[in-house]
Amino acid sequence: MQKVYLDNAATTQVRPEVIAKMQVALSDFYGNPSSTHSYGRSAKTAVEQARKTIAKTLNAKPAEIIFTSGGTEADNMILRCAVRDLGVKTIITSKIEHHAVLHTAEELEKEYGISLRFVDLDTYGNPVMDHLKSLLVQDDSKKLVSLMHVNNEIGNIVDIHAIGTLCRAHDALFHSDTVQSVGHYPWDVENTPVDFFTAAAHKFHGPKGVGFAFIRKNSGLKPMIFGGSQERGYRAGTEPFHNIVGLEEAFVQSYDNLEDEIQYVKGLKKYFVEQIKEAIPEVEFNGYSGDLDKSTYTLANVRLPFDKQKALMLLFHLDIKGIACSKGSACQSGSNMGSHVLNQILAPEELEKPSLRFSFSKYNTKEELDYTIGVLKEFAQS
């Protein structure tokens, strides 16, 4: 049985260079970065070097990079602290955001009595800019807009510059969950009108359990986790040094090889879209995921022409054949509610058909895609 991993939007294979760097960190640099002796100073120096490396690539200031356990913690920290510390009374988001944003905003509505508003979406799942503008001018409350750059299920890319410019014009803060774009797209924060964004190392071939928040200098945010003075006082707790240097190495490798890897993975997606259309002509693409210009090059979300009974066996059949993909985000794998993203953009009759997310990386090959499409075609004809 062939083994094919096409669930890279959930997590990615760790690069060998990252593993090697982490092994050295674990074996040779085991001091606590907060300790003042030589072991601690060595670890602390490496943590700060990682911060500088990431900041330089993003055209940010080192003090604006705060290491976290990943995107979920970073999203929670930014939204919660913006309400608690910055006087935010209204959060504007969309119903297809990651649950790290949606559930946090819902809890803030309960805890602090903030107003939670949702921007309208077009039929493809993109925010309607005129409606966003109307929400921004609806009242004089302090507002925070939270809209993700690349949707983790359907791959739509929003115009982050247009949204940020609109927010600044109306004195609103702008946060973006950029977990699916950091490491896959170039960034220049000095020329991007965003106040906060988030990243997770395991989305770009780094270790799980580490990421970072970009918090623009002089934001006014205060700590969410209290204790020591680590992470500029934003996040107490001993730094996971081995994970941070792994994050740095994955980040460096991603951006050093960015253009070549974009072209390679984009070629895989183009090939997948062409071949699955040929093999199963009735296939549809959710959101803009079939469009190479309007969606990320890293994933395709397909809707297959199978009835309900057949749909029940689809993921099981693919797993038996050694193919890993997902019905939606991995964060929802234990839920029977279906994809909250697709529920917002598909008609009831479209929701009756099974949808699958296939996501690609530098480690995939066209031969793997041929095998996967062959299995789908065989299943369709059975």
Instruction: Point out the residues of the chain with pLDDT beneath 70.
Output: 328-337
Could you tell me the residue range of the domain that residue 287 belongs to? 4-12+258-381
Confirm whether pTM is higher than 0.75. yes
Do 248 and 266 reside in the same domain of the chain? Answer: no
Do 345 and 294 reside in the same domain of the chain? Answer: yes
CA distance 335 to 333: 6
How many structural domains is the chain composed of? 2
Nearest to 76 by CA among 95, 102, 94, 97: 102
CA distance 329 to 8: 10
Do 281 and 363 reside in the same domain of the chain? Answer: yes
> CATH code at 24?
3.40.640.10
Catalytic residue selected from 81, 167, 325, 331: 331
Do 46 and 114 reside in the same domain of the chain? Answer: yes
Do 189 and 237 reside in the same domain of the chain? Answer: yes
Do 197 and 316 reside in the same domain of the chain? Answer: no
- Which helix (DSSP H) or strand (DSSP E) does residue 366 occupy? helix 366-381
Do 43 and 66 reside in the same domain of the chain? Answer: yes
Q: Indicate the pairing of strand 196-200 with strand 211-215.
A: antiparallel
Instruction: For residue 382, give the 3-state DSSP assignment.
Output: coil
User: Among 204, 224, 256, where does a domain finish?
Assistant: 256
- So what's the pLDDT on residue 336? 55
332 CA to centre of own chain: 14
CB 214 within 8 A of CB 63: no
User: Among 226, 256, 286, where does a domain finish?
Assistant: 256
CB 339 within 8 A of CB 327: yes
- So what's the pLDDT on residue 328? 59
User: Among 256, 287, 306, where does a domain finish?
Assistant: 256
Cα angle 378, 381, 382; round to 5: 85
Q: What DSSP letter does each residue of 252-268 carry, written as one string?
A: HHHHHTHHHHHHHHHHH
Nearest to 89 by CA among 144, 136, 171, 134: 144
Is residue 167 part of the annotated active site? The answer reads no
CB 122 within 8 A of CB 156: no
Backbone dihedral region for residue 284 (phi beyond 0: left; psi -120 to 50: alpha; all else: beta): beta
Do 251 and 317 reside in the same domain of the chain? Answer: no
Structure tokens at 80: 């919660």
25 CA to centre of own chain: 26
Nearest to 372 by CA among 276, 306, 247: 276
- So what's the pLDDT on residue 194? 98
Do 284 and 356 reside in the same domain of the chain? Answer: yes
Do 222 and 351 reside in the same domain of the chain? Answer: no
Cα angle 186, 252, 260; round to 5: 60
363 CA to centre of own chain: 19
311, with CB counted inside 10 A (0-12, 13-18, 19+), is middle
CA distance 286 to 127: 15
- Cβ contacts of 305 within 8 Å, gap of 6 or more: 280, 282, 283, 353, 380
> CATH code at 308?
3.90.1150.10
Do 320 and 347 reside in the same domain of the chain? Answer: yes
Do 228 and 348 reside in the same domain of the chain? Answer: no
* Count of all residues that appear for the chain in the document: 382
Partnered with residue 68 across adjacent β-strands are 211
